Amino acid sequence: MGLRKFFLVSFFCILSVSVSAQNWEIGGFAGASGYMGDLNPVNPFNIRDFAYGGFVKHNFDANWSLKLNAQHGKIFGADALLDDEQYRRRNLNFFSPITEIGFQLEFNFFEYIASVSKKRYTPYLFTGVGGVLFNPQTKYNGETYELYAYGTEGQDVAKPYKRYALSVPYGVGVKYNITGAWSLVGEIGYRTAYSDHLDDVSGYYPDKSKLYNATAVALSDRTGEYTGVYTGAPGTQRGDLRKHDTYMFTGLSLTFTFISQKCPVVQ
Protein backbone atom coordinates (compact mmCIF):
# COMPACT_ATOMS: atom_id res chain seq x y z
CA MET A 1 0.00 0.00 0.00
CA GLY A 2 1.38 3.42 -0.98
CA LEU A 3 1.86 6.00 1.75
CA ARG A 4 -0.81 8.35 0.39
CA LYS A 5 -3.33 5.49 0.41
CA PHE A 6 -2.24 4.62 3.96
CA PHE A 7 -2.91 8.22 5.05
CA LEU A 8 -6.42 8.16 3.55
CA VAL A 9 -7.32 4.74 4.94
CA SER A 10 -6.05 5.77 8.41
CA PHE A 11 -8.13 8.95 8.37
CA PHE A 12 -11.38 7.31 7.30
CA CYS A 13 -10.91 4.29 9.58
CA ILE A 14 -10.87 6.43 12.70
CA LEU A 15 -13.76 8.57 11.51
CA SER A 16 -15.82 5.45 10.76
CA VAL A 17 -16.14 4.73 14.50
CA SER A 18 -19.52 5.94 15.78
CA VAL A 19 -19.35 9.64 16.50
CA SER A 20 -21.81 9.10 19.33
CA ALA A 21 -19.22 7.11 21.30
CA GLN A 22 -18.08 8.56 24.59
CA ASN A 23 -14.74 10.18 25.31
CA TRP A 24 -13.48 11.59 22.03
CA GLU A 25 -10.55 13.95 22.36
CA ILE A 26 -8.88 16.46 20.04
CA GLY A 27 -5.67 18.39 20.53
CA GLY A 28 -2.87 20.46 19.08
CA PHE A 29 0.88 19.93 19.54
CA ALA A 30 3.81 22.38 19.58
CA GLY A 31 7.40 21.45 20.31
CA ALA A 32 10.60 20.39 18.60
CA SER A 33 11.95 17.66 16.34
CA GLY A 34 15.27 15.88 16.13
CA TYR A 35 17.23 13.07 14.55
CA MET A 36 19.65 10.20 15.21
CA GLY A 37 21.45 8.41 12.42
CA ASP A 38 24.64 8.37 10.40
CA LEU A 39 25.30 12.08 11.04
CA ASN A 40 24.35 11.90 14.72
CA PRO A 41 25.16 8.40 15.94
CA VAL A 42 25.17 8.87 19.73
CA ASN A 43 23.15 11.88 20.95
CA PRO A 44 19.49 10.96 21.62
CA PHE A 45 18.68 14.56 22.59
CA ASN A 46 19.73 16.20 19.31
CA ILE A 47 16.46 18.15 19.20
CA ARG A 48 16.85 21.45 17.33
CA ASP A 49 13.90 22.56 15.21
CA PHE A 50 10.29 23.67 15.73
CA ALA A 51 7.56 21.07 15.20
CA TYR A 52 3.77 21.14 15.33
CA GLY A 53 0.81 18.85 14.80
CA GLY A 54 -2.64 17.74 15.81
CA PHE A 55 -4.61 14.62 16.63
CA VAL A 56 -7.98 13.04 17.29
CA LYS A 57 -8.22 10.33 19.95
CA HIS A 58 -10.74 7.84 21.24
CA ASN A 59 -10.49 6.83 24.90
CA PHE A 60 -11.73 3.24 25.15
CA ASP A 61 -11.66 3.50 28.94
CA ALA A 62 -9.65 5.32 31.61
CA ASN A 63 -6.44 3.45 30.75
CA TRP A 64 -6.43 2.76 27.00
CA SER A 65 -6.86 5.06 24.01
CA LEU A 66 -6.15 5.11 20.27
CA LYS A 67 -4.94 8.29 18.57
CA LEU A 68 -4.74 9.33 14.93
CA ASN A 69 -1.77 11.69 14.97
CA ALA A 70 -0.16 14.05 12.43
CA GLN A 71 3.07 15.98 13.04
CA HIS A 72 5.48 18.04 11.00
CA GLY A 73 8.98 19.29 11.73
CA LYS A 74 12.52 19.45 10.42
CA ILE A 75 15.58 17.30 11.07
CA PHE A 76 19.22 18.24 10.66
CA GLY A 77 22.67 16.70 10.98
CA ALA A 78 26.23 17.87 10.30
CA ASP A 79 29.58 16.20 10.82
CA ALA A 80 31.08 19.59 11.62
CA LEU A 81 29.13 19.60 14.91
CA LEU A 82 30.46 16.23 16.12
CA ASP A 83 33.42 15.80 18.46
CA ASP A 84 34.93 12.78 16.68
CA GLU A 85 37.63 13.88 14.24
CA GLN A 86 36.82 11.01 11.89
CA TYR A 87 33.30 12.30 11.41
CA ARG A 88 34.50 15.87 11.06
CA ARG A 89 36.81 14.83 8.22
CA ARG A 90 33.86 13.18 6.45
CA ASN A 91 32.23 16.65 6.37
CA LEU A 92 28.70 15.61 5.36
CA ASN A 93 25.55 17.48 6.32
CA PHE A 94 21.84 17.44 5.53
CA PHE A 95 18.47 18.89 6.50
CA SER A 96 15.01 17.58 5.73
CA PRO A 97 11.36 18.42 6.33
CA ILE A 98 9.63 15.51 8.01
CA THR A 99 5.91 14.75 8.10
CA GLU A 100 4.34 11.87 10.00
CA ILE A 101 0.85 10.47 10.23
CA GLY A 102 -0.15 7.31 12.05
CA PHE A 103 -1.92 5.52 14.85
CA GLN A 104 -0.67 5.50 18.45
CA LEU A 105 -1.95 3.29 21.26
CA GLU A 106 -1.66 4.90 24.70
CA PHE A 107 -1.68 3.31 28.15
CA ASN A 108 -2.28 5.46 31.24
CA PHE A 109 -0.65 4.24 34.44
CA PHE A 110 -3.49 5.81 36.44
CA GLU A 111 -7.14 5.82 35.46
CA TYR A 112 -7.58 9.15 33.70
CA ILE A 113 -10.24 10.92 31.67
CA ALA A 114 -10.35 14.71 31.91
CA SER A 115 -13.24 16.03 34.03
CA VAL A 116 -14.39 12.46 34.74
CA SER A 117 -11.67 10.69 36.71
CA LYS A 118 -10.77 11.85 40.21
CA LYS A 119 -7.07 11.57 39.33
CA ARG A 120 -5.93 14.85 37.80
CA TYR A 121 -2.72 13.51 36.25
CA THR A 122 -1.12 10.35 34.94
CA PRO A 123 2.12 9.25 33.29
CA TYR A 124 1.60 7.18 30.15
CA LEU A 125 3.37 5.10 27.51
CA PHE A 126 2.62 4.92 23.80
CA THR A 127 3.56 2.96 20.70
CA GLY A 128 2.03 2.47 17.28
CA VAL A 129 2.63 2.50 13.56
CA GLY A 130 2.73 5.27 10.99
CA GLY A 131 4.22 6.63 7.82
CA VAL A 132 6.81 9.35 7.37
CA LEU A 133 7.64 11.63 4.44
CA PHE A 134 11.15 13.10 4.14
CA ASN A 135 13.41 14.78 1.58
CA PRO A 136 17.11 15.11 2.53
CA GLN A 137 18.81 18.22 1.15
CA THR A 138 22.10 20.04 1.52
CA LYS A 139 23.73 23.37 0.74
CA TYR A 140 26.68 23.38 -1.65
CA ASN A 141 28.29 26.50 -3.11
CA GLY A 142 25.31 28.54 -1.95
CA GLU A 143 22.74 26.33 -3.67
CA THR A 144 20.28 23.84 -2.19
CA TYR A 145 20.29 20.30 -3.61
CA GLU A 146 17.80 17.47 -3.11
CA LEU A 147 20.20 14.63 -2.43
CA TYR A 148 18.03 11.71 -3.53
CA ALA A 149 18.37 12.85 -7.15
CA TYR A 150 22.18 12.52 -7.25
CA GLY A 151 22.83 8.89 -6.30
CA THR A 152 25.51 9.88 -3.80
CA GLU A 153 26.27 6.25 -2.90
CA GLY A 154 26.02 4.94 -6.45
CA GLN A 155 22.25 4.45 -6.56
CA ASP A 156 20.59 4.42 -9.96
CA VAL A 157 19.31 7.99 -10.34
CA ALA A 158 16.48 6.66 -12.53
CA LYS A 159 15.30 4.60 -9.52
CA PRO A 160 16.13 6.68 -6.43
CA TYR A 161 15.33 5.53 -2.94
CA LYS A 162 11.82 6.19 -1.68
CA ARG A 163 11.27 9.38 0.29
CA TYR A 164 8.64 7.77 2.48
CA ALA A 165 8.84 4.93 4.95
CA LEU A 166 7.04 2.97 7.61
CA SER A 167 7.74 4.30 11.10
CA VAL A 168 7.27 2.87 14.60
CA PRO A 169 6.72 5.48 17.35
CA TYR A 170 7.33 4.86 21.04
CA GLY A 171 7.63 7.18 24.01
CA VAL A 172 6.41 8.50 27.33
CA GLY A 173 4.46 11.46 28.60
CA VAL A 174 2.44 13.01 31.41
CA LYS A 175 -1.16 14.25 31.23
CA TYR A 176 -2.57 16.86 33.61
CA ASN A 177 -6.16 18.04 33.85
CA ILE A 178 -5.81 21.82 34.02
CA THR A 179 -9.55 22.58 34.16
CA GLY A 180 -12.78 20.90 33.11
CA ALA A 181 -12.33 18.97 29.88
CA TRP A 182 -8.94 20.60 29.14
CA SER A 183 -5.65 18.78 29.65
CA LEU A 184 -2.01 19.76 29.22
CA VAL A 185 0.21 16.95 27.98
CA GLY A 186 4.02 16.77 27.90
CA GLU A 187 5.55 14.08 25.72
CA ILE A 188 8.81 12.81 24.24
CA GLY A 189 8.65 10.21 21.50
CA TYR A 190 11.13 8.46 19.24
CA ARG A 191 10.42 6.91 15.86
CA THR A 192 12.28 4.10 14.16
CA ALA A 193 12.02 4.77 10.43
CA TYR A 194 12.28 1.74 8.18
CA SER A 195 14.71 3.60 5.95
CA ASP A 196 18.40 4.43 6.24
CA HIS A 197 18.10 7.46 3.98
CA LEU A 198 16.56 10.18 6.14
CA ASP A 199 20.03 11.74 5.94
CA ASP A 200 21.05 10.38 2.48
CA VAL A 201 23.89 8.46 4.16
CA SER A 202 23.82 4.69 4.46
CA GLY A 203 26.62 2.51 3.08
CA TYR A 204 29.83 3.01 1.13
CA TYR A 205 31.54 5.54 -1.10
CA PRO A 206 30.83 4.76 -4.77
CA ASP A 207 33.15 4.65 -7.76
CA LYS A 208 33.10 8.34 -8.68
CA SER A 209 33.59 7.55 -12.37
CA LYS A 210 30.13 5.97 -12.37
CA LEU A 211 28.32 8.96 -10.90
CA TYR A 212 26.34 10.79 -13.50
CA ASN A 213 27.71 14.34 -13.17
CA ALA A 214 30.23 16.53 -11.36
CA THR A 215 27.64 17.73 -8.82
CA ALA A 216 26.93 14.13 -7.81
CA VAL A 217 30.67 13.58 -7.31
CA ALA A 218 30.96 16.71 -5.15
CA LEU A 219 27.95 15.81 -2.99
CA SER A 220 29.04 12.21 -2.57
CA ASP A 221 32.52 12.92 -1.17
CA ARG A 222 32.97 16.19 0.73
CA THR A 223 36.09 15.17 2.65
CA GLY A 224 38.35 17.48 0.66
CA GLU A 225 35.99 20.40 0.28
CA TYR A 226 38.29 22.70 2.27
CA THR A 227 41.63 20.92 1.91
CA GLY A 228 41.54 19.62 -1.65
CA VAL A 229 42.47 16.13 -0.39
CA TYR A 230 39.58 13.72 -0.92
CA THR A 231 39.67 10.48 1.07
CA GLY A 232 36.32 8.87 0.18
CA ALA A 233 37.80 5.90 -1.66
CA PRO A 234 35.34 3.63 -3.51
CA GLY A 235 34.10 0.80 -1.30
CA THR A 236 35.16 2.42 1.98
CA GLN A 237 32.59 3.13 4.68
CA ARG A 238 30.52 6.28 4.23
CA GLY A 239 27.66 5.60 6.70
CA ASP A 240 27.48 3.74 10.00
CA LEU A 241 25.85 0.69 8.33
CA ARG A 242 22.92 0.55 10.76
CA LYS A 243 19.74 -0.26 8.84
CA HIS A 244 17.39 2.38 10.27
CA ASP A 245 17.50 6.07 11.09
CA THR A 246 15.58 7.55 14.01
CA TYR A 247 13.71 10.83 14.43
CA MET A 248 11.87 12.26 17.40
CA PHE A 249 9.25 14.77 18.51
CA THR A 250 8.95 16.34 21.95
CA GLY A 251 6.71 19.09 23.24
CA LEU A 252 3.36 20.05 24.75
CA SER A 253 -0.20 19.37 23.67
CA LEU A 254 -3.39 21.11 24.71
CA THR A 255 -6.37 18.75 24.49
CA PHE A 256 -10.14 18.92 24.85
CA THR A 257 -12.22 15.86 25.77
CA PHE A 258 -15.84 15.48 24.64
CA ILE A 259 -17.65 13.68 27.43
CA SER A 260 -21.04 11.98 27.20
CA GLN A 261 -23.37 13.05 29.97
CA LYS A 262 -23.88 9.36 30.73
CA CYS A 263 -20.17 8.80 31.38
CA PRO A 264 -19.68 7.75 35.04
CA VAL A 265 -16.99 9.20 37.27
CA VAL A 266 -13.84 7.08 37.30
CA GLN A 267 -12.48 6.50 40.78
Between the alpha carbon of residue 229 and those of residues 68, 78, 94, 176, 225, the distances in Å are 50, 20, 22, 56, 8
Q: Is residue 139 part of a domain?
A: yes
Is the pLDDT score of 17 beyond 60? Answer: no
The whole model's pTM is what? 0.87
CA distance 224 to 66: 50
Amino acid at 13: C
pLDDT tier, 259 (very low <50, low <70, confident <90, very high otherwise): confident
Residue 20: band (very low, low, confident or very high) from pLDDT cuts 50, 70, 90 = very low
Out of 26-30, 114-118, 195-199, 245-249, pick the least confident: 114-118
Domain-located, residue 264: no
Number of domains in the chain: 1
The DSSP string of 164-189 is EEEEEEEEEEEEEEEETTEEEEEEEE
The predicted pLDDT at position 260 comes to 66
* CA atoms of 251 and 110, how far apart (whole Å): 21
Q: Give the range among 17-21, 40-44, 209-213, 221-225 with minimum mean pLDDT.
A: 17-21
Q: What is the pLDDT of residue 167?
A: 98
| For residues 72-83, average pLDDT | 95
Is 129 among the domain residues? yes
The DSSP element (H or E) to which 218 belongs, if any, is helix 214-220
pLDDT number for residue 132: 98
Give yes or no for residue 121 having a pLDDT over 60: yes
For residue 266, is it within any domain?
A: no
In this prediction, residues 113-138 reach a mean pLDDT of: 95
pLDDT of residue 75 exceeding 80, the answer is yes
Domain annotation covers residue 91:
yes
Contact (CB, 8 A) for 171 and 188: yes
What is the Cα gyration radius of the chain? 22
What percentage of the chain exceeds 90 in pLDDT?
A: 80
In tens, the pLDDT along 228-243 reads: 999 999 999 999 989 9
Query: Is 265 within a domain?
Result: no
Q: CA triplet 78, 222, 192: central angle to 5 degrees? A: 40
CATH of the domain at 125: 2.40.160.20
Q: Indicate the range of 80-84, 92-96, 147-151 predicted with least confidence.
A: 80-84
Give the span between the Cα atoms of 164 and 38, in whole angstroms: 18
Where is average pLDDT lowest: 3-12, 86-95, 147-156, 163-172? 3-12
Mean of pLDDT over the chain: 90
Residue 215 pLDDT grade (very low, low, confident, very high; cuts 50, 70, 90): very high
Whether the pLDDT of residue 162 is over 50: the answer is yes
Task: Over range 82-99, report the average pLDDT.
Answer: 95
pLDDT at 11 over 80: no
Containing structural domain, residue 180: 3-15+24-258
Beta-strand pair 182-193/137-140: unpaired
